[in-house]
Structure 1
């Protein structure tokens, strides 16, 4: 069974995009990845794109998407990253909150430690989902 994971942050331009990039990269076809924002921005944060490119993951083609109740309902795991109470709650879903610094307006130097913490959490998530990370 493929698990579906939804990452949610306010602008869907930094943290959630980096998390989705890591999960797609490490989880491959074993995980379906979605991301959305309660107030999506116009574009993915260029510093997040640069920080991910440094580790060989291209998220430059991603676009912020609006969070819908349908996206939450269709997901097995919903991971919030500072979207507050804008996330709809459905019974039977697993909810995690990852309190991560917001990379908005930060340079790549400030985004790198956020990227690295997201990678650590993604690897933990994959272990919980019993998915072996790809090399």
Structure 2
């Protein structure tokens, strides 16, 4: 099992600010097209435009880590963001989610430099 570090200390719990999504209304509201920039490890920059569900998921990840399992199928959007747009999203696994009684669960994190460059508020 991977352990995430928070403030330099290894932990087997997700960050306290991780977003647990039960419905779309738990996430950022903007769905209109917005432009984003990803800076890769080698320093190259990629820009792209997202709208609707993909924008909502990326805006949420920019704000905070997000629990993987949810009724709104976050993982489908994460796969699209990784594959089609090169967004550096990682998943850390944890055990014993007391809120859902799951033995194992994951939390998505942005693992690189990603920012929205225009398109209104999150």
Question: What TM-score, normalized by structure 1, do the two folds share?
Answer: 0.26
Larger radius of gyration: 2
Higher helix share: 1
Question: What TM-score, normalized by structure 2, do the two folds share?
Answer: 0.28
